[in-house]
Amino acid sequence: MTQELTISLDAMGGDYGPETVISGADIALVRRPNLRFEIYGEEDVILQVLNRFPKVKAVSNFHHCEVSIAMDDKPSKALRSGRYKSGMWRSIEAIKKQEASVCVSAGNTGALMAMSKFCLRTLPNISRPAMAAIWPTLSGESVVLDVGANVGVEADQLIEFAVMGSAMSRALMDFDRPSIGLLNIGVEEVKGVEAVKEAGRLLREANMQNMKYHGFVEGDDLGKGTVDVVVIEGFAGNIALKTAEGTAKQIGEYLRAAMSRTLLAKIGYIFAKSAFEQLREKMDPRKINGAVLLGLNGVVIKSHGGTDGEGFASAIELGYDMAVNGLLTKIEVDLNEFADIRNRLEQDSE
């Protein structure tokens, strides 16, 4: 029998709170029956929902928390008011106490990152955690980071992102040596800001055994799947992510309007229905919901706040896959390798 794995849930987070979280846990439990849950939040709200999902209740421990973090709270306020007392903090702390292997929250992103950094701290050789997302492509899926945790980074941070993204790609997609691309305004080596050019030079010279540096990639390469891991600064990464989400919705609305405009179009839709169903499945953002906060001493997953139970289940399963495939160990091994290579390169240049 597969070993049980415990995930802590911040049940008050997101636009819909416990309803989404508990129903998502119920869906995930069907696909991952060895899951166990530590659930944190306000008793009078959560227990009403939990009682409707007996399978989840049977494999869960519930913990009442007197404070909930609002979606619009500033990170500093969340830390002051919610440290030690909120469901978000205590679900993160469960990892530190080794009561859970993964934390999943749909709550306030800034607060989740701030609390995670404060509670769990970063891994050795990591200066800034990053937020990594799964990106659907024409050739499958890619890892993209950072998608919003860091605004303005230096070459060293981009290299850290590349190492962490490579480890995530190997843990999730089972690549032996994933290809890495730095997002830039062109593929030529002379283009881009200095931090990106310097990071590219260092990655090329390092030639690490667990990743293959491809070079610079452009915006259209995100959808093509040109590389397995795309490294980007968080400001641009978040814009790219939101633009892709908006474009997917826009295309869906265009298709829906076009298929209902005339009788002939409606008839055509009937014949092409299976193709449209496949397209809808491919573009469903719930299937890839969940961003990983990489670089921490623990696996923390940020679910989209507006998702439903199916989407939250995807975030839970993402955390499960990261934990059972040894994400943290892979990151530490790669960081140590790069540190050794960089020291050797610096000594050779002296």
- For helices 155-173 and 327-349, angle between their N-to-C axes, nearest 10 degrees: 140
Q: How confident is the model over 189-208, as a mean pLDDT? A: 88
What are the tokens at 64? 């009442």
Q: Is the model's pLDDT at 153 over the cut of 60?
A: yes
Beta-bridge partner residues of 300: 103, 293
Q: Please indicate whether the domains covering 1-126+295-325 and 127-286 agree at the CATH topology level.
A: yes
What's residue 271's pLDDT?
Answer: 66
Residue ranges in 70-122 assigned as alpha helix (H): 75-82, 87-96, 109-120
Torsion of CA 126, 131, 136, 139, to 10 degrees: -10
Report how far residue 92's alpha carbon sits from residue 70's, in angstroms, rounded to the nearest whole number.
16
Q: For residue 124, how many C-alpha atoms fall within 13 Å in the half-sphere facing its CB?
A: 10
Tokens 């909120």, residue? Answer: 86
Top pLDDT among 249 and 275 is at: 249
- pLDDT band (50, 70, 90) for residue 217: very high
Lowest mean pLDDT among 50-59, 202-211, 317-326, 340-349: 340-349
What are the tokens at 347? 């000594």
Beta-bridge partner residues of 130: 294
What's residue 284's pLDDT?
Answer: 62
Domain 127-286: CATH superfamily, name plus number:
Isopropylmalate Dehydrogenase (3.40.718.10)
Q: Could you tell me which of 166, 142, 168 has the C-alpha nearest to residue 225? A: 142
Domain locations in the chain as residue ranges: 1-126+295-325, 127-286
Q: What is the DSSP string of 330-344?
A: HHHHHHHHHHHHHHH
Architecture, CATH, for domain 1-126+295-325: 3-Layer(aba) Sandwich (3.40)
Tokens 């990071």, residue? Answer: 199
